[in-house]
Amino acid sequence: MINQIKVLRARHSFTQSELAKAVGVSRQTINAIEKGKFSPSLETAFRLAKVFSCSIEEIFEWKG
Q: Domain-by-domain residue ranges, the chain?
A: 2-61
What's the pLDDT score for residue 64? Answer: 74
Check pLDDT > 90 for residue 55.
yes
Helix H or strand E encompassing 19: helix 16-23
5-44 per-position pLDDT tens digit: 999 999 999 999 999 999 999 999 999 999 999 999 999 9
What's the pLDDT score for residue 63? Answer: 83
CATH 1.10.260.40 fits 2-61, yes or no: yes
Closest alpha carbon to 51 in 23, 31, 32: 23
How wide is the angle at C-alpha 46 spanned by C-alphas 22 and 42, nearest 5°?
A: 115
